[in-house]
Amino acid sequence: MKFIINTTNLQSGGALQVALSLLEEWNIDQFDNEFHVFLSPQLNLLFTRENFGGNFTFYTFNKNPTNSIFSSISFYKKLKRLETQLKPDAVLTVFGPALWRPKSPHLVGFANGYYLFDNSDFIRKRILTNMVRKIKYHSRHYLLFSQLKKEGDHYWVETNAAKERLSETINKPINNITVIGNTYGSSFKYKPEHRDNTNNTFNLLYVSAYYEHKNFEIIPKVITILKERNIACSFILTLPEDKFSAIFGEMSNSEYLKNAGPINPQEIIEIYQKAGAVFMPSMLETFSANYPEAMRMELPIICSDYDFSRNICGDAALYFDAENPTEIAHKITELIEKTELQKQLIEAGKSRLQELETPESRAEKLLQLLNETAQMKNGNK
């Protein structure tokens, strides 16, 4: 089979990690397939082409399709021309929309919970708070899903909740959408032998780019309470320096904060080695890889109490009200002081991990789904 793997629209965060993991897994044992990979400039920086077999051909794009209206037009023309030349059996856009409708059968991933779960408490209470924000949100919502609907022949999402919501939103049959769960990246397959716990500081790791629903703004309030209680710990964050300074101001130099800056998948293991626990105050997710990453690294999880987190973590996490800094500080204190609780959460995480996908199983299932999508080629779209 000949496939186009389209990543031209991927720019940051977990989407890049998923795309990289899929490519690495397919490179191991999928020599019967031919992969033509359209790379975003951001993904192009994350791996070495020489490590890939001869069945991989890479095409570098110097811009993302959303940079400007002119970028989207030039992208469409270039993608259309390449598809005509390559004549693939199917196209996979790892996460859409792609701003492109191939003639070949098109499998599109979707994991943008911010717009998909427009009925969530966070969106209703935090985003749709005034007319300007409502207009902006609903306009982007309409454009995104109108584009997504016309692009795909089949879709893959990471949870059953996302499957049901996407079916309703784009008015596609439920059997046009397949669930393949998220997991840790390929770099987590080989766990390190030790962790760095310098100066006995209990480090709470939050690996995330900045988005409003990630709830970084609660952290200064939590730190104030922890400081009053003389609880020694530190939050390790991965924010751009300007965003870090904007959120924390004079608190930026506090011993309670360490900002590692944005990290790429090759660096992620090292930062997990410095953690005592994974901290996730997010108020909206589809399926964050932070949860299985923590389980894989045998770290306790302390996170916000929502359906999305409980459905993934089960009894492998200590939960808190994401809008209550006093409760968050109390839960952090409890976790730090109770080593038995830490061990209990770690063991539960190891058990829970057995029920989730692995990088190998995710790649295998997605490739099988891509093969099935390719069967639409002979006039069966």
Q: What is the pLDDT of residues 4-29, one digit of tens each?
A: 999 999 998 889 999 999 999 999 87
Based on the structure, what is the number of domains in the chain? 2
193 and 173 within one domain = no
The CA–CA distances, whole Å, from 247 to 17, 185, 211, 253, 324 equal 26, 29, 12, 12, 18
DSSP lists the bridge partners of residue 72 as: none
Q: Measure CA of the first residue to CA of the last residue in the chain; give whole Å.
A: 18
pLDDT digits (tens, 9 = 90+) for 120-132: 999 999 999 999 9
258 and 173 within one domain = no
Which backbone phi and psi does 262 adopt, to 5 degrees?
-60, 140
368 and 302 within one domain = no
201 and 95 within one domain = no
22 and 157 within one domain = yes
176 and 205 within one domain = no
pLDDT digits (tens, 9 = 90+) for 239-276: 999 999 999 999 998 999 999 999 887 788 999 999 99
What CATH number does residue 39 fall under? Answer: 3.40.50.2000
Query: In three state form, how does the secondary structure of 51-63 look?
Result: HCCCCEEEEECCC
User: What global pTM score does this model have?
Assistant: 0.92
365 and 311 within one domain = no
231 and 153 within one domain = no
- Decide if 343 contacts 297 (C-beta within 8 A): no
In the chain, beta strands by DSSP E: 2-6, 34-39, 56-60, 90-93, 106-109, 154-157, 177-179, 202-206, 233-237, 257-259, 277-280, 301-304, 317-320
376 band by pLDDT with thresholds 50, 70 and 90: confident
Which backbone phi and psi does 277 adopt, to 5 degrees?
-160, 160
200 band by pLDDT with thresholds 50, 70 and 90: confident
247 and 204 within one domain = yes
198 and 85 within one domain = no
237 and 99 within one domain = no
Residue numbers of the domain that contains 272? 187-353
381 band by pLDDT with thresholds 50, 70 and 90: very low
- Decide if 41 contacts 66 (C-beta within 8 A): no
362 and 288 within one domain = no
Q: Which bin fits 174, alpha (ψ -120 to 50), beta or left (φ > 0)? A: alpha
Q: Measured between alpha carbons, how far is 117 from 195 in angstroms, rounded to an integer?
A: 37
Q: Measured between alpha carbons, how far is 226 from 331 in angstroms, rounded to an integer?
A: 11
